[in-house]
Amino acid sequence: MTRRFQPPDRIRVRRQPKKGRYDRASVEAILDRGLVAHIAFVDRGEPVCIPTFYVRSGDELYVHGSRASRAMRLWASGERVCVTVTLLHGLVLARSVFEHSANYESVVAFGCFRLIDDDSERLAALQTFTNRVVPDRWDEVRSPNAKELKATMILAMPLSEASAKVRFGPPDDDDSDDAALDVWAGELPIATSFGEPIPSPGLRPTIPLPNSIRSLADLMAATEAE
């Protein structure tokens, strides 16, 4: 049986509810392909929204940042937040302005972060972060030292209140009166890919491109070829 989130009414998709997804697999699949989340919260009576890297591990969403960050300290205090992640796949161009849209996948999650104090869990989270950005990168670089680990705050939020919204496909006016208009309609895909690696100016020329970067480039090339 498919496990389902039980989100409150506030995160159920009300407009075009057929686009809503509440099963764990849909939510996790979107989160695992994204990199940047926008976290909205209230600070001193004012609305604030911060973009940040994130990673999903099990049933929780992890973020990390400096202990000096006011946002991180506020989140660690138990302030309620709204986290959103969006993957934009293309523009949907219809015959009329009203029917223009986009193809996308998105997740909205509500909850509170908890502060991770255990050093082993903190290191594991940082390893997950590193390998999420570039698989196997953790084993190629220096691990955080005690000073760096102390300066870094890691927070986790349970994904107990989350839902997804998805749209794919052509414009919705193929069967309308507007289909008789001499106007081009269709989809304009948006593709995201890595470019050629650019070495740091201070990198010694004898240091080759690491396997992690080569593997990632090969993976992207294979994906684009499909």
What pLDDT, in 10s, does the model give residues 96-121?
999 999 999 999 999 999 999 999 99
Structural contact between residues 11 and 32, judged by C-beta atoms closer than 8 angstroms: no
Rounded to an integer, the average pLDDT of 74-85 is: 96
Fold observed for domain 9-192: Pnp Oxidase; Chain A (2.30.110)
Structure tokens given for 137: 């990168």
The separation between CA 195 and the C-alpha centre of its own chain, rounded to angstroms, equals: 20
Round to whole Å and give the CA distance between 190 and 180: 27
Rounded to an integer, the average pLDDT of 59-86 is: 95
pLDDT > 70? residue 24: yes
What pLDDT, in 10s, does the model give residues 121-151?
999 999 999 999 999 999 999 999 999 999 9
pLDDT > 60? residue 226: no
